[in-house]
Chains A and B, each alone.
Chain A
Amino acid sequence: MIDLTTDYLGLQLKNPLVPSSSPLCKQLDSVLSLEDAGAAAIVLHSFYEEELIAEDAMAERFLLHAELHDGESAGFMPDHGKYESSIDQYLDHLRKAKARLSIPVIASLNGVTPSGWVDLGKEMQAAGADALELNVYHVAANPTESGDDVEARYLALLTELKQVVSVPIIMKLPPFFSSLPHFVRRLEVSGANGVSLFNRFFQPDIDLDGLEMVEQLQLSTREEALLRIRWIAILRGQTPMTLAATGGVHGHEEALKLLLAGADVVHLASCLLEHGPARLSRILEGIEAWMVEREYESLAQLKGSMCLSKLRDPSALARQSYIRVLDSFTPRPGVWR
Chain B
Amino acid sequence: MTTYLNLDGNEAAARMAYLGSEVIAIYPITPSSNMGEWADEWAAQGKPNLWGVVPKIIEMQSEGGAAGALHGALTSGALGTSFTASQGLLLFIPNLYKMAGELTPFVLHVAARALATHALSIFGDHSDVMACRATGCALLASNSVQEAQDMALVAQAATLAGRIPVIHFFDGFRTSHEVAKIVAVEPATVRAMIDDSLVAAHRARALSPEHPVLRGTAQNPDVFFQSRERANPFYDAFPALVQAAMDRFGELTGRHYRLFDYVGAPDAERVIVVMGSAAETVEETVEHLVARGEKVGLLKLRLFRPLDTRALLAAIPDSARSIAVLDRCKEPGADGEPLYKDVLTAFAEAAADGARPMPRVIGGRYGLASKEFTPGMVAAVFAELAKAKPKRQFTVGIVDDVTHLSLVWDDAFRSDASRRLQHAVFWGLGADGTVSANKNSIKIVGESTALQAQGYFVYDSKKSGAVTVSHLRFGDAPIRSSYLVEEGMAGFVACHQTVFVERYDLLAHAAPGGVFLLNTPDAPDAVWAGLPAAMRAGIAAKGLKLWVIDAYKVAQEAGMGRRINTIMQTCFFAISGILPREEAIAAIKKAVDKTYGRKSKRLADLNHRAIDVTLANLHAVPIGAAGEGAAPIVLPPDAAQPAFVRDFTLPIYRGEGNRLPVSAMPIDGTFPTGTAKFEKRNIGLEIPVWEADLCTQCGKCVFVCPHSAIRARAFPAEAAADAPPTFKHVPAKSKDFPAGTHISYQVAPEDCTGCGDCVEACPIHDKSNISRLAVNMAPIGPLREQERDNFDFFLKLPDFDRSLLKHGTIPGAMLLDPLFEFSGACAGCGETPYIRLATQLFGDRMLVANATGCSSIYGANLPSTPWTVNGAGRGPAWSNSLFEDNAEFGLGMRLAADQLMAYGMQLVKEMEAEVGGDLASAIVDADQRSELGIRAQRERVAALLSRLAAGSHPRAAELASLAEWLIRRSVWIIGGDGWAYDIGYGGLDHVLALSYDVNILVLDTEVYSNTGGQTSKATPVGAVAKFSAGGKATAKKDLARIASDYGHVYVATVAYGAKDVHTLKAFHEAESHAGPSLIVAYSPCIAHGVDMLYNQRQQDMAVKSGHWPLFRYDPRVEEAGGNPFRLDSAPPTQSIKAFMDSETRFAMLARSHPDAAERLVAQAQKDADRRYKGYQEIAAAHAPAAPKES
A residues with CB within 8 A of B:
52-53, 55-65, 67-89, 115-117, 119, 211
Contact = CB atoms under 8 A, between A and B. Distances in A.
Given A60-B563, A62-B1089, A78-B1029, A88 B598 contact: yes
Nearest to B1145: A77
Interface stretch (B227-235, B430-438, B573-581, B1071-1079): B430-438
Contact of B603 (A56, A75, A82, A88): A56
Given A59-B600, A79-B40, A67 B431 contact: yes
Given A79-B1029, A83-B1151, A84-B598, A74 B44 contact: no
30 contacts: A55-B1151, A58-B1089, A58-B1144, A58-B1148, A59-B599, A63-B599, A65-B433, A67-B436, A68-B430, A69-B466, A70-B459, A70-B460, A71-B461, A72-B30, A73-B1013, A74-B1012, A78-B41, A78-B1013, A78-B1024, A78-B1028, A80-B1148, A82-B45, A82-B1153, A83-B1148, A84-B1151, A85-B598, A85-B599, A85-B601, A89-B1151, A211-B765
A77 B1013 contact: yes
Given A59-B599, A69-B431, A75 B1151 contact: no
B136 to A, nearest CB: 31
Which 10 A-B residue pairings sit nearest by Cβ, starting from the closest? A73-B1012, A76-B1013, A79-B41, A76-B1087, A62-B1089, A69-B430, A78-B1029, A71-B459, A82-B1152, A78-B1026
A71 B44 contact: no
Given A64-B596, A76-B1087, 8 more contacts: A59-B603, A61-B1089, A70-B463, A72-B857, A76-B1007, A82-B45, A82-B1153, A211-B765
Contact of A86 (B826, B1025, B1144, B1151): B1151
B127 interface: no
B770 A69 contact: no
Given A69-B466, A116-B605, A78 B37 contact: yes
Of B595, B599, B603, B1086, most A-chain CB atoms within 10 Å: B599
Contact of B44 (A68, A69, A78, A88): A78
B221 to A, nearest CB: 47
B462 interface: yes
Contacts of A84: 598-599, 1151-1152
Nearest to A63: B1148
B72 interface: no
B40 A80 contact: no
Interface in B1003-1046: 1007, 1009-1013, 1024-1029
B122 interface: yes
Contacts of B559: 115
Contacts of B1027: 78
Contacts of A86: 1151
A231 to B, nearest CB: 34
Contacts of A211: 765, 770
A76 B177 contact: no
A73 B1010 contact: yes
B1148 A73 contact: no
A216 to B, nearest CB: 12
A335 B670 CA distance: 84
A85 to B, nearest CB: 5
Given A62-B1144, A115-B559, A68 B431 contact: yes
B431 to A, nearest CB: 6
Interface string B21-48: 0000000001101100100110011000
Contacts of B461: 70-71
Given A76-B1086, A80-B1152, A88-B598, A71 B1024 contact: no
Interface of B: 30-31, 33-34, 37, 40-41, 44-45, 122, 173, 177, 430-431, 433, 435-436, 457-464, 466, 559, 561, 563, 565, 595-596, 598-603, 605, 765, 770, 826, 857, 1007, 1009-1013, 1024-1029, 1086-1087, 1089, 1144-1145, 1147-1148, 1151-1154
Contact of B1144 (A63, A69, A89, A119): A63
Contacts of A81: 41, 44-45
B595 A64 contact: yes
A77 B1024 contact: yes
A55 B1148 CA distance: 9
Contacts of B462: 69-70
B1144 A77 contact: yes
B1140 to A, nearest CB: 14
A94 to B, nearest CB: 15
Contact of B565 (A61, A65, A79): A65
Contacts of A61: 1089
Contacts of B33: 72
B1089 A67 contact: no
B31 A71 contact: yes
Contact of A72 (B826, B1007, B1010, B1028): B1010
A23 B565 CA distance: 38
Contact of A70 (B430, B1013, B1145, B1154): B430
B371 to A, nearest CB: 15
Contacts of B1025: 76-78
A52 B559 CA distance: 14
A57 B1144 CA distance: 11
Contacts of A116: 601-602, 605
Contacts of B435: 67
Given A85-B599, A119-B601, A71 B45 contact: no
A61 B1145 CA distance: 12
A67 B430 contact: yes
Given A78-B41, A79-B41, A80-B1152, A71 B601 contact: no
A59 B1150 CA distance: 13
Contacts of B40: 78-79
B1012 to A, nearest CB: 3
A45 B430 CA distance: 39
Contacts of B601: 85, 87, 116, 119
Nearest to B1086: A68
Contacts of B599: 59, 63-64, 80, 83-85
A53 B606 CA distance: 12
Contact of B563 (A65, A80, A88): A65
A72 B1152 CA distance: 25
B29 to A, nearest CB: 9
A60 B466 contact: no
B939 to A, nearest CB: 45
Contacts of A52: 600, 602
A133 to B, nearest CB: 20
Given A69-B430, A71-B122, A81-B41, A56 B1012 contact: no
A25 to B, nearest CB: 16
A179 B1037 CA distance: 62
Contacts of B857: 70, 72
A89 B1148 CA distance: 13
Given A59-B600, A75-B1013, A85-B1151, A70 B466 contact: yes
Nearest to A93: B1154
A74 B595 contact: no
Of A61, A75, A78, most B-chain CB atoms within 10 Å: A78
Nearest to A81: B45
A53 B602 CA distance: 9
B433 A56 contact: no
Contacts of A70: 430, 459-463, 466, 857
Contacts of B430: 67-70
Of A74, A86, A87, A117, most B-chain CB atoms within 10 Å: A74
A56 B603 CA distance: 7
Contacts of A117: 602
